[in-house]
Structure 1
Amino acid sequence: MKAAVVILCILNSLAGNLAMAQPYYPESDDEVIETLPPRGKSWFEIKLLRIKVKSSPAALQPVLDLASRYIELGRAESDPRYFGYAEAVLAPWLKSGQVHPEVLTLRATLHQNRHEFTSALAYLDKALALQPRLGQAWLTRALILEVQGNYAAALKSCLPLLKLASALVSQVCIASTQSLTGQIDSAYQQLMLALPAAQSEPLQNRQWAMVALAEIAERKGDSKAAEQHYRQALKLDRNGYLLAAYADFLLDRARYREVTELLRNETRADTLLLRLTLAEQALQLPTAQAHIVALAARFAASRMRGDTVHQGDEARFLLHLAHAPEQALKLAQANWGIQREPRDARIILEAADALDCPEQIQPTLNFLAQAKLQDVRLQPLVDRLSRSSS
């Protein structure tokens, strides 16, 4: 309990210090504030794309290629600075008189990454009004609506992909949504059938399908299949989302050493540092306390920036590391107002269970029941909270 008080004091102190801190303003747009470390092939690829954009400033395709690659790197490395680079690349085209649907779609993707879903959907609507057959816009729209828990609308946005995208992309979109609405077994089987015929698909698409299969299998309670899919995905490439999902899988099975091995060199991303710290705490490693303090500082800084992307993770930090269930529940409920994935439901249920206050989360319980969401990780919590409220 004493440690929890210390952490909360740190949070409050950091908030005050950050409020008084003076921002640094570059003297010109050309001033370099920080240079990201070279990342091998990706770094040279970016360099070539930047040369193409600079040599052909009136050409749209090089701009789209460069902005898309920055977004891919931002997601893979959980580094938001790449998203800022993508914004800068798109900015001149957004200010021009002619608005291109592809540019609007990429801007929507950037808003999606910041969890600004309302504005993202508005940009996508504009893009689709200009180009109704733009597959990427339909896919991004479906993904956002699924995260928001609007499953009927998400599925409706997946359907155009049957004609506008590859068989694998359309099947992942459909299966992912159906797996959250009481059709988990059929969704899993359909996606399993689609994967073997997709060997010519880009690596990114195949990995997306494998991660979707892993998450569906995990919700079904098939740990063996889930682990197999996670490991297959990791063989293709490592990215922040996959590492976090697999780390959660390992944490749920008390395989803490494996989590520390997986994430030892992944401390730059808050979401991965959180999972590493949870494993370190379980193992009573001396590094846990320093990482707890670091996370407290990072979350405090995010709040000062008005950044709500990591509210779910911060709620998890407050519940399991700061031992502050009241604050955890409050933040988890705020997060639930923005996104409604199974992991978002889980932190609400865990916080309410710790406080024994099912009445405060009745809307969440109602949503899960109406959606017919199947998840073996959530069901014991739902059953316990439902009994407490009756």
Structure 2
Amino acid sequence: MLLAGAWLAAGCAAAPYRPASGDTVVTTVARSAGTPEIRQLQGRLAAAPGDLPTALALARRYIALGRAETDPRYFGHAQAVLAPWWGRVDAPPGVRLLRAQLLQNGHRFSAALADLQAVTASQPRNAEAWLTQAVVQAVQGDHAAATASCARVATLAEELAGFACLAAASVNTARLEASERLLAATLARSSGTPDELHVWAWTLLAEMAARRGAAGTAEQRYRTALALAPRDSYLLGAYADFLLDAKRPAEVLALLRERQRVDGLLLRHALALRDAGGNRGALAAAVAELQARFDAAAQRGDRVHLREEARFMLQLRGDPSAALALARQNWTVQKELADLRILLESARLAGDQRTLRDAREWVARNGTQDVMLPGLAGSGP
């Protein structure tokens, strides 16, 4: 996620921030960055920069921290650790797998798939590579390829990992309800699996229930997942969207208190402020901060958050044409439900019948199900 200063006013271009004195705190580094494990690995790598196993271990730790803290600096640290091998087309499989995960994080999906396909070709029993490949393929809307990759995961990893993978691959298809039932049954008998897998499964199940309009079931599942992972940014964003759809902005504000460092969560915080009404100053500040972050990203050439920026332009700036341009650009890269929803909504409000028709055809072709889609897509040819 992108980080930027809150000092920028609305409508201003991002500018360098110069602290008034050396005592000014610009940012706070997570305490976990200095764990004994990290320091030990850093020391070993400093003593032997070409030590591949140590480099892989340290890069993995940084990637895990980046995901846990939703802090892109750790992904940069991981890439720096892998620098001696980063540009090599013949990089070792371990490097190619982590490079693929970092490329995936930057939405460079084609490059990530090239690395993953090389890893699975040389290490056909590498479950992590098959799972990462399935996730990338599902995000791109290639459900058949994702399902095939998940089938390999199912033969190599824990049962719950395989069925969660298959559910994720099927979530935008007509197999949604059958996948939900199968995943729920598998989760019920998977008491010994790691919490991370349980969080993923409960989150998938919550999203599936929400898609078919089973709000009570969805909420129960979201809360179960949050009890296991209260700081998971993807989970917080998904539950916040569920609450926003249910017209419960006050609960979103409580949920996301102290969590606005993450761009997607700040966006949902701002939407909740808008829906709750009353605190215009806080809403204006949140909108200004979001604009500054998107401006800074554009200056860096970073287009990772096109979906969030499209939603910002439509729902907070009220500019359907600008939102549609961003949503269409985003749709060429990734095709998850949230991408479809912002594409449909912005096309409808901008009056773009061709985009609406193409999106409706994609929904019909894939059998995508979601109770919100008819209202977003409207009626038409």
- TM-score between the two structures when normalised by the length of structure 2: 0.89
Q: Which amino acid aligns with 1:113?
A: N
Superposition deviation, residue 213 in structure 1: 1.0
Question: Which of these residues, 112, 132, 146, is aligned with residue 104 of structure 2?
Answer: 112
Structure 1 stretch displaced more, 350-359 or 318-327:
350-359
**1:273-325: per-residue Cα shift (whole Å, max 9, x none)?**
00001111112223110110110110011111111111000000000111111
Preserved CA contact (<8 Å) 2:130 2:152: yes
- Structure 1 portions without partners, runs of 5+: 1-8, 24-33
User: Is it true that 1:126 corresponds to 2:118 in the alignment?
Assistant: yes
1:137-156 → structure 2 map (5 Å cutoff)? 137-156=129-148
Q: State whether residues 76 and 241 of structure 1, in contact with CA within 8 Å, keep that contact through their aligned partners in structure 2.
A: no
Cα distance change of structure 1 residues 47 and 216 upon mapping to structure 2, 3 Å threshold: farther
**Post-superposition CA distance 1:317-370 (Å, at most 9, x none):** 000111111100111010001000000000011112223333233222211110
What amino acid does structure 1 have at the position aligned with 2:114? A
- Inter-partner Cα distance in structure 2 for 1:227 and 1:61: 43
Q: Deviations over 1:210-243 (max 9, x none)?
A: 1111111111211111111111111112211111
1:373 aligns with 2:368: yes
Q: Report the equivalent of 2:264.
A: 271
121-130 vs 308-317, greater mean Cα deviation: 121-130
2:362 alignment partner AA: F
Aligned residues: 364
Distance in structure 2 (CA, Å) of the matches to 1:162 and 1:317: 39
**Structure 1 residue 38: Cα displacement:** 3.2
2:348–2:356 contact (8 Å) kept in structure 1 = no
Q: Is 1:239 aligned with 2:244?
A: no
Q: CA 1:42 to 1:148, structure 2 compared with 1: closer, same or farther past 3 Å?
A: farther
Between Structure 1 and Structure 2, which shows a larger proportion of helix residues?
1
Distance change (3 Å), C-alpha of 1:248 and 1:365: same
AA aligned opposite 1:326: S
| Aligned 1:212-251 pairs, distance under 5 A | 212-237=204-229, 238-251=231-244
State the partner residue of 1:341. 336
Q: Contact 2:120–2:129 (CA<8 Å) still a contact in 1?
A: yes
Confirm or deny: 8 A CA contact 2:10 2:287 kept in the other structure.
no
Aligned counterparts of 2:101 and 2:361: Cα–Cα separation in 1: 30
Q: How many angstroms does 1:206 deviate by? A: 1.4
Compared CA separation, residues 217 and 52, structure 1 to 2 (3 A): farther
Residues 248-283 of structure 1, C-alpha deviations (whole Å, 9 max, x = no match) = 111111111111111110111111100001111112
Q: Is 1:200 aligned to 2:195, yes or no?
A: no
Alignment match, 1:78 = 70
Residues 145-197 of structure 1: CA deviation (Å, up to 9, x unaligned): 10000101111111111221111111101112123210111101110111122
Does structure 1 conserve the Cα–Cα contact (< 8 Å) formed by 2:240 and 2:268? yes
TM-score, normalised via structure 1 length: 0.87
How far is 1:199 from its partner? 2.2
Determine the C-alpha separation between the residues in 2 that align with 1:106 and 1:154. 19
Match of 1:324 in 2: 319
More off after superposition, 156-165 vs 333-342: 156-165
CA–CA separation in structure 2 for the residues paired with 1:345 and 1:39: 38
Classify the secondary structure of the residue corresponding to 2:318. Answer: coil
Deviation at 1:129, TM superposition (A): 2.4
Corresponding residue for residue 306 of structure 1: 301
Q: In 2 relative to 1, CA 101–35 (structure 1 residues): closer, same or farther, beyond 3 Å? A: farther
**Separation of aligned partners in 2, 1:59 and 1:342:** 42
Distance 2:69 2:243 in 1: 20
Q: What amino acid is the match of 1:347?
A: I
CA 1:314 to 1:98, structure 2 compared with 1: closer, same or farther past 3 Å? Answer: closer
Letter in 2 for 1:222: A
The match for 1:315 among 295, 310, 318 is 310
3-state SS of 2:82 partner: helix
Alignment-mate amino acid for residue 268 of structure 1: R
Q: 1:191 — aligned with what? A: 183
| Contact 1:184–1:220 (8 Å) recurs in 2 | no
Distance in structure 2 (CA, Å) of the matches to 1:330 and 1:98: 38
Equivalence map 1:36-55=2 (5 Å): 36-39=28-31, 43-54=35-46
1:97 is displaced (CA, Å) by: 9.8
AA at the equivalent of 1:230: Y
Q: Which deviates more from structure 2 when the two are superposed, residues 211-220 or residues 114-123?
A: 211-220
Tell me the distance in 1 between the aligned counterparts of 2:88 and 2:117: 19
Q: Tell me, in whole angstroms, the C-alpha distance in 2 between the residues paired with 1:261 and 1:174.
A: 33
| Amino acid in the other structure paired with 1:305 | R
> 1 CA distance for matches of 2:182 and 2:61?
30
Question: 2 CA distance for matches of 1:22 and 1:10?
Answer: 16
Match of 1:157 in 2: 149
Which residue identity is paired with 2:198? R
Code of the aligned partner of 1:312 = R
Corresponding residue to 2:253 among 260, 269, 275:
260
Percent identity at matched positions?
42
Q: Give the conservation status (yes or no) of the 8 Å contact 2:10–2:289.
A: no
Q: Cα 1:322–1:170, aligned 2, differ >3 Å: closer, same or farther? A: same
* Amino acid corresponding to residue 251 of structure 2 in structure 1: E
Instruction: Please tell me the residue identity of whatever aligns with 2:82.
Output: L
Aligned with 1:352 (options 335, 344, 347)? 347
Distance 1:100 1:325, change over 3 A: same
Root mean square deviation of aligned Cα: 2.4
